[in-house]
Amino acid sequence: MSRRRAREHVFILLFQMTFINQEETDERIELYFEQHSHIKEEDKKYITEELKAVLSKLETIDELISQHSKKWKIERMSRVDLSILRLAVFEMQYREDIPNSVAINEAVELAKKYSGDQSPSFVNGVLGSIASSLGEPYDE
């Protein structure tokens, strides 16, 4: 499975996590993979590990998003956009093998596919601001 497709699965699961209690995480993951039985075991492992890694850093990730989303509180963001931002910020902060520009571009593509018309520019703006604060300016 391509990294892009795996990222999309992580995003979808991350989005689904916004609707459940933390105690239901493993059950939700299991149900997701039952519904996507075509996913190979090695890909399931990667997706699950990536999802749990994002979830383990959620407080730090959300703080960073809050600092850079001008006039937008996390509680007011759409769950789709928030999930996209969380995944991208995780990749930017904790995945040294993923350049910030790739994380941002992939997030914008997810926003184009899954969110509203204004979302790609919103996601790009927030992530560009975060990249700049990390000392890695991002040019669209």
How far is it between the farthest Cα atoms of the chain?
42
**Cβ count near 5 (within 10 Å):** 12
Note if the pTM is more than 0.85: yes
pLDDT of res. 24: 92
* pLDDT tens-digit map of 62-79: 999 999 987 888 889 999
Structural domains of the chain, with CATH = 3-133 (1.10.940.10)
DSSP-derived letter for residue 18 is: T
Task: Give the model's confidence band at 138: pLDDT under 50 very low, under 70 low, under 90 confident, else very high.
Answer: low
Q: Is the pLDDT of residue 15 over 80?
A: yes
Task: Give the model's confidence band at 110: pLDDT under 50 very low, under 70 low, under 90 confident, else very high.
Answer: very high
CA distance 62 to 49: 19
Helix (H, G, I), strand (E, B) or coil at 54: helix
Q: Is the pLDDT of residue 136 over 70?
A: no
